[in-house]
């Protein structure tokens, strides 16, 4: 089966929902911290270092930390610090990466 890239014009929110839906469909646990609107604008309360990737996906002992970006958008310095510290489990995913994302998320599950 051939999977086409998603359009570059796809909004990051729609991209996130597509990735989450696909991950769940393939048995991944998914975590995403949603911001909340405050008097001072949108905030995501955290304790610790800022820049944690958008999604944490876990399945069968595999953990993926995925930062989602629109076409031609790049991680912030805080995000780059997290991604470098995470190492091989870190991903920066864009809509153009959709075929590779689907391939990774749909890999056969590990047997126990």
Residue 78 belongs to some domain of the structure:
yes
Q: How many domains does the chain have?
A: 1
Please check whether residue 110 lies inside any domain of the structure. Answer: no
CATH of the domain at 18: 3.40.1350.10
Confidence check: pLDDT of 64 > 70: yes
In a domain, 41, yes or no: no
Residue 81 belongs to a domain: yes
Three state DSSP letters for 45-110 = CCCCCCCCCCEEEEECCEEEEEEECCCCCCCCHHHHHHHHHHHHHEEEECHHHHHHHHHHHCCCCC
Residue 102 pLDDT exceeds 90: yes
Which residue range forms the structural domain that includes residue 26?
12-34+48-105
- pTM for this predicted structure: 0.88
- Band of residue 112 on the pLDDT scale cut at 50, 70, 90: low
């Amino acid at each position: 089966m051939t999977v086409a890239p998603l359009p570059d014009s796809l909004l990051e929110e729609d991209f996130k929902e597509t990735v989450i839906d696909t991950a769940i469909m393939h048995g991944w646990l998914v975590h995403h911290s949603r911001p909340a609107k405050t008097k001072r604008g949108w905030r995501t309360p955290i304790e610790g270092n800022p820049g944690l990737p958008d999604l944490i996906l876990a399945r069968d002992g595999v953990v993926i930390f995925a930062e989602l970006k629109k076409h031609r958008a790049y991680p912030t310095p805080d995000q780059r610090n997290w991604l470098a510290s995470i190492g091989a489990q870190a991903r920066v995913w864009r809509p153009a990466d959709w075929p590779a994302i689907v391939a990774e998320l749909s890999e056969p599950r590990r047997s126990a």
